[in-house]
Structure 1
């Protein structure tokens, strides 16, 4: 007979999982993916190796979890804006995207992938499949909902999602990969989002 874990044990397991993810992200960044062992991660997280292996049996599974969590907007439970007002909806999505891209762990994660790409191309595949694509799909679905509501006219919502996110990330995020001190202030990022929304509505909004 099996029993459900108590609320206390669930909370402890969640706290240990969070500690493992934090320790793994830091060690991957400091030492590289290849030179970081699960044993070192367990020690840095303050958990036993058995506890770590129970949650993440392989280093690849642990990296997948880091990617998935890093790409979750907010607390991971934010709903898409309701269709009907594409300007307001895109503005909300754009500001959420800025908040996501400016998390310290997001830039760190990309640096891990870029540094280890020649030896571990599967890390880039994980970043794309478990992180970027689910987020991109959520924006594409929002644009499809706006199209179905008759507020925008577009043949390819996927292309439109790429255009919108690209206008924001090309200013807010990608320069940080080459310029360590790139840190635009809040008003500058707000303006980028506002301009991206204006571009999208000028191109796609129904008159």
Structure 2
């Protein structure tokens, strides 16, 4: 006897992806409110009972779709803890590049806007928004800074605060140049910040945690 769920099998995972793909297409095309579970069921080619086995509510389905979309950002390949400042700099730059590129893809921005709009009156989506958007980047940056601080490469006694000092500006590119972009229709997707800009940002941040910069 096992504790595995019937929705954990390879066949069930295919079915789950089938449902999510149909829901993703509909959410992007007509929004959350105008997308009913019935239209999702029809688009996925499944029964109502099957839909509710995998996703008991439309809110849970939206949460799963957005989480998968934004989790496509893998926070770069996890590497060994940095042993030099140049390694730390390279890893922080890789995170900033990967995050802004992924989050500023048109579909990612569309789903993020949709999630933000619904999270205003659906509190259960706020945790999804936090986990999918800033929390993963913040945790990864904090882990890198912790390793660098322990190795004596930087001075960051308040790891969370130091991580926020980098993550905030990185997210500002997604928020201001992506989510709130006033680019006219047909003007193409918003462009993520260039390498030169992000390099300057990371270098400025490293000045705040340089050894001897505090106390």
TM-score (norm 1): 0.79
Q: How many residues align?
A: 201
Q: 5 Å matches for 1:150-161?
A: 150-161=152-163
Deviations 1:58-99 (A, max 9, x none): 222222322332332546894255222311221221222123
| Higher-helix-fraction structure | 1
Structure 2 segments unaligned to the other structure (5+ residues): 184-188
CA contact (8 A) 1:19 1:45 kept: yes
Q: Which runs of 4+ in 1 moved over 6 A?
A: none
- Deviation (angstroms), 1:145: 1.5
**CA shift in 2, pair 1:80/1:61, >3 Å:** farther
Question: Which position in structure 2 is the counterpart of 1:91?
Answer: 93
- Deviation (angstroms), 1:152: 1.1
User: Which residue of the other structure, out of 175, 195, 199, is the alignment partner of 2:200?
Assistant: 195
**CA shift in 2, pair 1:200/1:63, >3 Å:** same
Structure 1 segments unaligned to the other structure (5+ residues): none
Question: Which position in structure 2 is the counterpart of 1:171?
Answer: 173
Q: 5 Å matches for 1:26-45?
A: 26-45=25-44
Question: Which position in structure 2 is the counterpart of 1:50?
Answer: 49
TM-score (norm 2): 0.76
Deviations 1:34-60 (A, max 9, x none): 332222212223333333222212222
User: Which residue of the other structure, out of 158, 183, 190, is the alignment partner of 1:183?
Assistant: 190
Structure 1 residue 204 and structure 2 residue 209: aligned?
Answer: yes
Cα-Cα RMSD:
3.0
